[in-house]
Amino acid sequence: MSAWEELGITADPGRVHTEGQMVRAALEEARQQVADLFGVRPRQVILTSGGTESINSAVWGVLAGTDPGQGERSAAVSANSSAPVACAAVEHSAVRDASARHGVVVHIDVDGLGRIHPAAVADAVDRSIAEHGRPPVLVHCQAANHEVGTVQDVAGVVELCRGLGIPVHVDAASGAGYLELDLGASGADLVSVSAHKLGGPAGVGALLLRRGLRIDPLLVGGEQERGRRAGLENVIGAIGFGATAGALAEPGRRSEEAGAARRHTERLLEVACAVDGVVPYGDTMDRVPHIVCVGVAGVEAEPVLLGLDQAQVAVHSGSACSSESLEPSPVLEAMGVDGERSLRLSVGWSTTDADIEAFAAAFAGVVGRLRSLAN
């Protein structure tokens, strides 16, 4: 018998027997820890399989409950596929794809740092009315960009949309755990988070709802999560999520980790930009502390990745969810920079000074060798 079985963790938290109620107690304790970290109440937390499900649930939930203009409530998003959704190209692919599948996307322009400005959102609202006869039924504004790290003006976008009566979804996966996100006070209607981005287990996340907001569930077939997400909860994953949230809620813990991450990424930028033809992308100041992005002139990203990998340094190009794609980064294209020659450099709680110096020792040599081969 495993340790989890001895503790009764394999029991169904929806059952009334003792084992089930023990698991229910553990699940609700984890929910409370997640709620405390983000400044919301436990009943506002819907546990999911991760950020991608949370995002899809947010889009489906809003659009499925939106009047398609025929005087009756839509029972399926396919019946409301003409609903406009305002979304910038710098949003994560899960946000862009879910919006395009379930509605029609009205693009929000961004500046050269990848930032979404409230004025650009207002322009998208006007274009939606002109082109589709109504404002967007949903606006997306990420907390921070997942490729270049730029922090977004969520408060400004939420304030604008609140005045227009438009709900806002915030993908907070890349900012949670590093930024001080009091989501209860932010005014956002829906917020997606993922445990593994915080240093927790993969395969679990949450959709946080504004108090009083009700949405149609993406997954049906059971009354779990107060009828908002069917299916037996990932209890072990939720406990890990809760433990991670609890650790990050300790006084000074987030600022300590954010400080270490910023020190590491500033060193990465210093080393990378010391090489001719390497420039930073995104806002190097107002950014999440654990992500920076650079462009490398004269050589494509993939050979640099492979060269660094041979030196036991793992970096990436573009989004972490675009590894199978050969297309240039839509985030960088929207910013007006070269999306085929970018490196995304990120650090985490386990990153050490030795890891950073390994990059410093390898980067210039890898780029130099590749450029010499290209000449």
As a whole number of angstroms, the longest Cα–Cα distance in the chain is 72
**CATH 3.90.1150.10 spans which residues of the chain?**
254-374
Q: DSSP secondary structure string, 70-116?
A: SSS--SSGGGGTT-EEEEETTS-HHHHHHHHHHSEEEEEP--TT-PP
DSSP conformation class of 151: B
| Cα–Cα distance for residue pair 237/107, rounded to 1 Å | 35
Whether residue 141 contacts residue 121, with contact meaning beta carbons closer than 8 Å, is answered with: yes
Q: Which amino acid is at 283?
A: D
| Architecture per CATH, 254-374 | Alpha-Beta Complex (3.90)
Q: Which CATH number does the domain 3-248 belong to among 3.40.50.620, 3.40.640.10, 3.30.110.30, 2.60.120.10?
A: 3.40.640.10
223 vs 8, 87, 217, 228, CA distance in Å?
A: 22, 31, 10, 7
CA distance 55 to 158: 17
Query: Exposure of 26 by Cβ count < 10 A (0-12 exposed, 13-18 middle, 19+ buried)?
Result: buried
Catalytic site includes residue 321: yes
pLDDT the model gives residue 324 = 52
Q: How far apart are CA 75 and CA 58, in angstroms?
A: 16
Rounded Cα distance between 212 and 234, Å, is 25
- The helix or strand, by DSSP H or E, that contains position 185, with its residue range, turns out to be helix 183-186
* Parts of the chain belonging to CATH 3.40.640.10: 3-248
| Residues 262, 268, 274, 276, Cα dihedral to 10° | -120
Q: What does pLDDT average to in each consecutive run of 10 residues of the chain (375 residues)?
A: 55 84 92 95 97 97 71 44 92 96 96 98 98 97 97 96 97 91 83 95 97 92 93 95 95 92 98 97 96 94 93 79 62 90 92 96 96 83
The radius of gyration computed from the CA coordinates of the chain, to the nearest angstrom, equals: 22
Question: Of the residues 87, 141, 293, 321, which is catalytic?
Answer: 321
The Cβ of residue 24 has, within 10 Å, a number of other Cβ atoms equal to: 18
User: Parallel, antiparallel, or unpaired for β 278-281 and 291-296?
Assistant: antiparallel
Confidence at residue 76, expressed as pLDDT on a 0 to 100 scale: 47
At residue 46, φ and ψ (nearest 5 deg) are -100, 115
pLDDT of residue 318: 63
pTM for the predicted model, two decimal places: 0.91
How high is the pLDDT of residue 247? 95
Phi, psi of 324 (to 5 degrees): -85, -5
- Reading the block at residue 307, the tokens are 């060269």
- What's the token pair of residue 65? 């409950």
